């Protein structure tokens, strides 16, 4: 066996080091003044993102306090029923969509590059775009409450309550607003997954990556597969509300239960999307304070992956009382019990690490242990409600409220507060107050338990959720009053925490470097940090490099490793291989720009104008958004470099331009398309769901109708796909004419395929608002028309790039990614046409 020797270069002279550092600072400088808002550095965007999620947490908390005031005494008149309904809906939605999920993305954008010794994530503008989308969507939703126009159907928006019975704009705001915000979540996932797989420091093999990365990788992948069913469900419900397409209207062949399936296909994995990053934080913090490496690294990886998969088999345990077959309930109950195993393994590993080490008492550990204890209580009551017989009794009562808050507060808020105390020096170079941290913790811990422990009993006594008041004499008064008093303690705890976080620290001295004496790479950072992150990108050969690699900090600071300079004034980072982190590419990333802000702003119009039935502004916004995104791609991606290769230091020469499966952009396209295809698979699920539920779902006239339209759609889609594949080949061969011809043929075939898709429901005289079947067929048609239309735009984009000399046979990223898109668009079209063809036969 040949051991690879880790070497470091000779340090350049001090004068050279200073010049290198100055160039790095210039290249990575975050803009100031009004241009500050065009920043794309992860250290700035991550900070905005985190601050915004904390503000939304505070807003959701105030709403919770309003509810507790209302419920403190029976027959209270503090809030009326209408307002209370809006308040609990917005509270749940804000906490889930605007705090619990985005806080992990915000934290990861802020700290993941440091944990990986990277200068930034591979798509900084995508991070900024995601943040602006999140902010615009969140502010729109929250502000609706002040106009009495907020959603009021609960955070899960069950129809028909949210369709036929709620005519206002509130439900539309929820459906379109959160679909918009989910775009931000998917954008962040793409960024984080590729960052973990391809932006690691050389030597950081897959068995050495920080556990935080494993968890974020799993959670990011879960977002890709969990969010699309909800996006599809939201689209369908909005179509029912806005255009009368009766997907969930039982009277016209729809089924309201389908919404519950689509929602919980998202909703249960979402619990683990929230929880896993919190465990990840514990896995980073506990070894530091136990002064020992984590016990059971591989077991924790097993748990992260296992939990990710198992969480997709639990969704029906939110629907135990909907009358599903008993055998179904048995299957979901078994899966719900099984997920406790990996969760238990993780906690056992943490306890093992604490026992194996010599634990230092600290505020982060206090919050972590408090959080794990609280989560354990929620986990155990979760096992209780996973037992169907018990769930039948406890369903929709305050017992479930107590359970879910134990899981979410114990599994999210406590660990994230711990992480804020732990990581704060990386942001500001200063420590938060130990004394205020302890006071805040005990207020929060007691406040939480005084608030939520009584709710178990309130629920067992039969108090239902989501009621704005209750009658006296039912034995609920004392328990509710205690819960409300506990809420005041919680408020006090949060007030102390926020004060400590936001108080001025101008007169506080900068803390020492690596103040916790941690072993992980992010603590290489100087205090306060520099915009370029690390001075040179190190070579890593341990899970705890700061503990195990002697002189690492000195070697990094002296620029002895990779990319110690920015000679061309460009922002550069290393792309490495997925398994062994071998250097593959010196990737150039774009700098500050208003384009992400503008793209988010125009896209906001696409989603938010339809809420108010403002169709023309929505159309103009769509055109504007498309124009901005094309400009973004034209100016910011696929740039042909002035030289093919670059010496990145440490004796390594790497290409600057890479296309295909070795490029980060190709993987971004693949991951995005996986999410889109998952939404399409959800549509197939919905269609099959209808099909199994009713023998009359497919009308006899359709079954006996002519199949030519569907055959044409199938053939033309396949032709468009193949022409794009051929275009890529002709580009590679430098046959310009044949390339243009193939792209044109692909566009023409796609156009005709779109006509054929529309022709199928039109030829059968299907009217979308007449039945769920007709609506489904029209949705298939529209889906493919949009998908093919995007393919046409991408083909034309490649033609113009080639014509303008921005793409050739060697620099072919655009057409390679377009071909990848067509693989998915082609498959979607062919499967859709297949469904249209076989529906009649199956009938």
Which residues, 653 to 692, sit near other proteins by CB under 8 A? 691-692
299 is an interface residue for other proteins by CB under 8 A:
yes
How many residues line the site for other proteins (CB under 8 A)? 53
Query: Considering only 125-133, 330-338, 463-471, 821-829, which stretch makes contact with other proteins by CB under 8 A?
Result: 330-338
Q: What is the DSSP string of 192-230?
A: HHHHHHH-PPTT--TTTS-HHHHHHHHHHHHHHHHHHHH
User: DSSP secondary-structure letter at 409?
Assistant: I
User: DSSP secondary-structure letter at 318?
Assistant: G
Closest CA to 187 of 218, 220, 217: 220
652 is an interface residue for other proteins by CB under 8 A:
no
Minimum gap (Å) between residue 652 Cβ and other proteins: 16
Q: How many CA within 13 A on the CB side of residue 353?
A: 26
Query: Considering only 203-211, 231-239, 446-454, 797-805, which stretch makes contact with other proteins by CB under 8 A?
Result: 203-211
Distances (CA, A) of 248 to 235, 253, 326, 485: 12, 8, 24, 41
541/572 with CB nearer other proteins: 541
Q: Among residues 58, 324, 510, 681, which is the contact residue for other proteins, using CB under 8 A?
A: 324
Q: How many CA within 13 A on the CB side of residue 13?
A: 2
| Non-local CB neighbours of 62 within 8 Å, separated by 6+ positions | none
Q: Among residues 14, 75, 251, 326, which is the contact residue for other proteins, using CB under 8 A?
A: 326
Structural contact between residues 274 and 101, judged by C-beta atoms closer than 8 angstroms = yes
335 is an interface residue for other proteins by CB under 8 A:
yes
212/414 with CB nearer other proteins: 212
Minimum gap (Å) between residue 773 Cβ and other proteins: 15
Which residues, 126 to 185, sit near other proteins by CB under 8 A? none
DSSP, collapsed to helix, strand or coil, labels residue 588 as strand
DSSP, collapsed to helix, strand or coil, labels residue 589 as strand
d(CA 804, CA 180) in angstroms, rounded, equals 34
Q: Verify cis geometry, omega within 30 degrees of 0, for the bond prior to 367.
A: no
694 is an interface residue for other proteins by CB under 8 A:
yes
116 is an interface residue for other proteins by CB under 8 A:
no
d(CA 363, CA 440) in angstroms, rounded, equals 10
Minimum gap (Å) between residue 842 Cβ and other proteins: 9
544 is an interface residue for other proteins by CB under 8 A:
yes
Exposed e or buried b per residue across 525-547, where buried means at least 16 C-beta atoms within 10 angstroms of its C-beta: bebebebbbbbbbbbbbbbbbbb
Q: Among residues 7, 321, 322, 328, which is the contact residue for other proteins, using CB under 8 A?
A: 328
81/579 with CB nearer other proteins: 579
Minimum gap (Å) between residue 299 Cβ and other proteins: 6
Minimum gap (Å) between residue 342 Cβ and other proteins: 6
Beta-ladder partners of 588: 572
Q: Among residues 23, 37, 74, 205, which is the contact residue for other proteins, using CB under 8 A?
A: 205
Q: Among residues 13, 32, 34, 325, which is the contact residue for other proteins, using CB under 8 A?
A: 325
Closest CA to 779 of 755, 753, 757, 751: 757
293 is an interface residue for other proteins by CB under 8 A:
yes
321 is an interface residue for other proteins by CB under 8 A:
no
Dig out the tokens for 218 from the structure: 């799993």
327 is an interface residue for other proteins by CB under 8 A:
yes
Q: Among residues 37, 78, 158, 309, which is the contact residue for other proteins, using CB under 8 A?
A: 309
208 is an interface residue for other proteins by CB under 8 A:
yes
623/842 with CB nearer other proteins: 842
Closest CA to 273 of 453, 411, 121: 411
Q: What is the DSSP string of 459-472?
A: HHTTPBTT-S---T
Minimum gap (Å) between residue 778 Cβ and other proteins: 24
d(CA 432, CA 525) in angstroms, rounded, equals 18
Q: Among residues 245, 297, 680, 687, which is the contact residue for other proteins, using CB under 8 A?
A: 297
Minimum gap (Å) between residue 396 Cβ and other proteins: 22
Structural contact between residues 56 and 455, judged by C-beta atoms closer than 8 angstroms = no
301 is an interface residue for other proteins by CB under 8 A:
yes
Minimum gap (Å) between residue 1 Cβ and other proteins: 6
Structural contact between residues 576 and 647, judged by C-beta atoms closer than 8 angstroms = no
Task: Determine the Cα angle at 421 with ends 416 and 422, to 5°.
Answer: 90
- x/- map, 724-753, other proteins, by CB under 8 A: ------------------------------
d(CA 271, CA 308) in angstroms, rounded, equals 10
Dig out the tokens for 363 from the structure: 């505020």
Query: Considering only 311-319, 430-438, 497-505, 669-677, which stretch makes contact with other proteins by CB under 8 A?
Result: 311-319
Return the C-alpha torsion angle 695, 699, 700, 702, nearest 10. -130
Q: Among residues 25, 330, 360, 623, which is the contact residue for other proteins, using CB under 8 A?
A: 330
Minimum gap (Å) between residue 341 Cβ and other proteins: 6
Q: Among residues 321, 582, 635, 661, which is the contact residue for other proteins, using CB under 8 A?
A: 582
Dig out the tokens for 213 from the structure: 């990365």
Minimum gap (Å) between residue 541 Cβ and other proteins: 4
305/492 with CB nearer other proteins: 305
Q: Which helix (H) or strand (E) holds 53?
A: helix 42-71
Beta-ladder partners of 776: none
| Distinct helix (H) and strand (E) counts, the chain | 27, 4
Minimum gap (Å) between residue 520 Cβ and other proteins: 12
Q: Verify cis geometry, omega within 30 degrees of 0, for the bond prior to 160.
A: yes
Q: Among residues 65, 161, 164, 338, which is the contact residue for other proteins, using CB under 8 A?
A: 338
309/634 with CB nearer other proteins: 309
Which residue has 């200068």 as its token pair?
Answer: 119
User: How many residues are present in the chain?
Assistant: 843
633 is an interface residue for other proteins by CB under 8 A:
no
User: DSSP secondary-structure letter at 154?
Assistant: T
306 is an interface residue for other proteins by CB under 8 A:
yes
- x/- map, 547-566, other proteins, by CB under 8 A: -x------------------
CB atoms under 10 Å from CB of 495, counted, come to: 14
Antiparallel, parallel or unpaired: β 583-589 and 571-576 = antiparallel
Minimum gap (Å) between residue 199 Cβ and other proteins: 16
286 is an interface residue for other proteins by CB under 8 A:
no
d(CA 205, CA 213) in angstroms, rounded, equals 12
310 is an interface residue for other proteins by CB under 8 A:
yes
Minimum gap (Å) between residue 207 Cβ and other proteins: 4
Structural contact between residues 648 and 605, judged by C-beta atoms closer than 8 angstroms = no
- x/- map, 504-543, other proteins, by CB under 8 A: -------------------------------------xxx
Structural contact between residues 371 and 347, judged by C-beta atoms closer than 8 angstroms = no
Q: Among residues 22, 147, 148, 207, which is the contact residue for other proteins, using CB under 8 A?
A: 207
Minimum gap (Å) between residue 418 Cβ and other proteins: 24
- x/- map, 243-282, other proteins, by CB under 8 A: ----------------------------------------
Interface contacts to other proteins, rule CB under 8 A: 1, 3-4, 6, 203, 205-208, 293, 297-299, 301-302, 305-306, 308-310, 312-313, 316, 324-331, 333-335, 337-338, 341-342, 541-544, 548, 577-580, 582, 691-695
């Amino acid at each position: 066996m040949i051991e690879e020797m880790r070497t470091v270069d000779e340090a350049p002279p001090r004068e050279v080091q200073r010049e290198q550092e100055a160039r790095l600072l210039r290249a990575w400088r975050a803009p100031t003044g009004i241009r500050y808002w065009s920043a794309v550095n992860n250290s700035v965007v991550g900070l905005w993102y985190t601050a915004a999620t904390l503000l939304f947490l505070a807003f959701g908390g105030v709403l919770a306090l309003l509810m507790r005031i209302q419920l403190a005494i029976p027959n209270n008149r503090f809030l009326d029923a209408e307002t209370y309904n809006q308040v609990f809906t917005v509270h749940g939605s804000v906490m889930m969509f605007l705090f619990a999920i985005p806080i992990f993305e915000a934290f990861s954008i802020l700290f993941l590059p440091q944990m990986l010794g990277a200068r930034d994530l591979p798509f900084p503008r995508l991070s900024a775009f995601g943040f602006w989308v999140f902010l615009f969507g969140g502010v729109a939703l929250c502000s609706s409450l002040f106009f009495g126009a907020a959603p009021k159907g609960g955070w899960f928006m069950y129809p028909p309550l949210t369709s036929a019975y709620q005519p206002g704009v509130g439900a539309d705001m929820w459906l379109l607003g959160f679909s918009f915000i989910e775009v931000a979540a998917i954008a962040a996932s793409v960024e984080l997954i590729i960052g973990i797989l391809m932006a690691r420091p050389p030597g950081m093999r897959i068995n050495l990556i920080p556990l935080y990365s494993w968890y974020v990788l799993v959670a990011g992948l879960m977002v890709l597969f969990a969010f699309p069913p909800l996006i599809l469900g939201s689209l369908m419900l909005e179509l029912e509300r806005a255009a009368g397409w009766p997907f969930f209207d039982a009277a016209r062949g729809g089924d309201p239960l389908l919404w519950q399936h689509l929602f919980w296909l998202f909703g249960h994995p979402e619990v683990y999307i929230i929880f896993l990053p919190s465990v990840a934080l514990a896995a980073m913090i506990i070894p530091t304070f136990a002064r020992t490496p984590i016990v059971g690294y591989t077991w924790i990886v097993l748990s992260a992956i296992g939990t990710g998969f198992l969480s997709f088999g639990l969704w029906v345990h939110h629907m135990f009382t909907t009358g599903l077959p008993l055998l179904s309930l048995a299957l979901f109950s078994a899966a719900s019990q099984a997920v406790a195993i990996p969760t238990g393994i993780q906690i056992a590993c943490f306890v093992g690490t604490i026992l194996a080490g010599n634990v230092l008492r600290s505020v982060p550990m206090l919050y972590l242990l408090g959080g794990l204890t609280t989560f354990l209580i929620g986990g155990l009551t979760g096992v209780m409600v996973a037992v169907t017989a018990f769930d039948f009794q406890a369903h929709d009562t305050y017992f479930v409220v107590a359970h879910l808050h134990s899981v979410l507060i114990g599994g999210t808020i406590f660990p994230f507060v711990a992480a804020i105390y732990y990581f704060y020096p990386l942001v500001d170079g200063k420590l938060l107050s130990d004394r205020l941290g302890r006071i805040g913790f005990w207020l929060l811990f007691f406040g939480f338990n005084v608030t939520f422990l009584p709710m178990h009993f309130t629920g067992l006594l039969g108090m239902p959720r989501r009621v704005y008041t209750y009658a006296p004499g039912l034995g609920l008064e004392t328990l509710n009053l205690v819960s409300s008093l506990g809420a005041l303690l919680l408020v006090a705890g949060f007030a102390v925490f926020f004060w400590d976080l936001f108080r001025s620290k101008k007169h506080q001295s900068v803390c020492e470097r690596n103040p916790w004496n941690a072993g992980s790479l992010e603590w290489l950072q100087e205090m306060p940090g520099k915009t370029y992150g690390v001075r040179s990108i190190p070579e890593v050969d341990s899970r705890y490099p700061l503990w195990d690699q002697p002189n690492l900090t000195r070697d990094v600071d002296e620029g002895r490793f990779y990319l110690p300079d920015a000679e061309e004034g460009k922002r550069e980072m290393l792309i490495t291989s997925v398994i062994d982190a071998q250097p593959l590419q010196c990737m150039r990333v774009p700098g500050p720009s208003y384009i992400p802000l503008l793209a988010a702003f125009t896209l906001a119009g696409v989603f938010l104008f339809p809420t108010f039935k403002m169709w023309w502004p929505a159309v103009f916004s769509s055109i504007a958004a498309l124009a901005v995104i094309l400009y973004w791609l034209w100016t910011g991606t696929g740039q042909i470099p002035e030289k093919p290769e670059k010496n990145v230091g440490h004796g390594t020469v790497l290409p600057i331009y890479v296309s295909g499966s070795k490029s980060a952009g190709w993987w971004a396209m693949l991951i995005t398309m996986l999410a889109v295809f998952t939404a399409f698979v959800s549509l197939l699920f919905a269609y099959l769901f209808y099909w199994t539920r009713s023998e009359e779902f497919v009308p006899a006239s359709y079954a006996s109708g002519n199949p030519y339209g569907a055959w044409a759609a199938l053939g033309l889609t396949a032709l468009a796909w193949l022409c794009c594949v051929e275009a890529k080949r002709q580009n590679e061969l430098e046959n310009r004419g044949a390339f243009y011809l193939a792209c044109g043929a692909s566009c023409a075939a796609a156009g005709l395929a779109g006509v054929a898709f529309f022709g199928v429901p039109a030829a059968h005289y299907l009217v979308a608002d007449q039945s769920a079947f007709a609506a489904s067929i029209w949705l298939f048609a529209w889906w493919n028309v949009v998908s093919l239309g995007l393919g046409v735009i991408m083909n034309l984009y490649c033609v113009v790039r080639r014509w303008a000399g921005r793409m050739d046979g060697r620099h072919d990223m655009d057409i390679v990614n377009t071909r990848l898109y067509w693989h998915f668009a082609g498959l979607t079209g062919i499967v859709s046409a297949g469904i249209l063809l076989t529906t009649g036969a199956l009938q």
